[in-house]
Amino acid sequence: MSFACPVCGFPGLDEAPRDEHGCASFEICPCCGIEFGYEDAMTSHSELRARWIAGGKRWWSYKGPPPDWDADTQLTRINE
């Protein structure tokens, strides 16, 4: 089971960014680098997304993106 990042749309998160009680996972999205429960506590997902896009839609993790990774494709999956 994997979850999509509500900021960048990356579909490979290990945990839901927030559970059914609203508790954050504190997982860091390897794509946009947002830590759920930290960055998104003060700033909306749409604003964080706009910043990530303005910054060039760069992959965040040192591990590098999946071979078929495409920022624009995953962004189209976000319906917020």
CA–CA separation, 80 vs 76, rounded Å? 11
Cβ contact 71:51 at 8 Å: no
Q: Is 10 in contact with 72 (CB distance < 8 Å)?
A: no
Minimum Å gap between C-beta 5 and Zn ion is 3
Are the C-beta atoms of 51 and 61 separated by less than 8 Å? Answer: no
Residue 5 interacts with Zn ion (CB under 5 A): yes or no: yes
Binding residue for Zn ion, selected from 17, 29, 45, 74, defined by CB under 5 A: 29
Stretch that binds Zn ion, among 5-13, 20-28, 42-50, 64-72 (CB under 5 A): 5-13
The CA distance from 53 to 71, in Å, is: 9
**The only residue of 17, 32, 49, 71 in contact with Zn ion, by rule CB under 5 A:** 32
Question: Interaction with Zn ion in 49-68: which residues (CB under 5 A)?
Answer: none
Could you list the residues that contact Zn ion (CB under 5 A)?
5, 7-8, 10, 29, 31-32
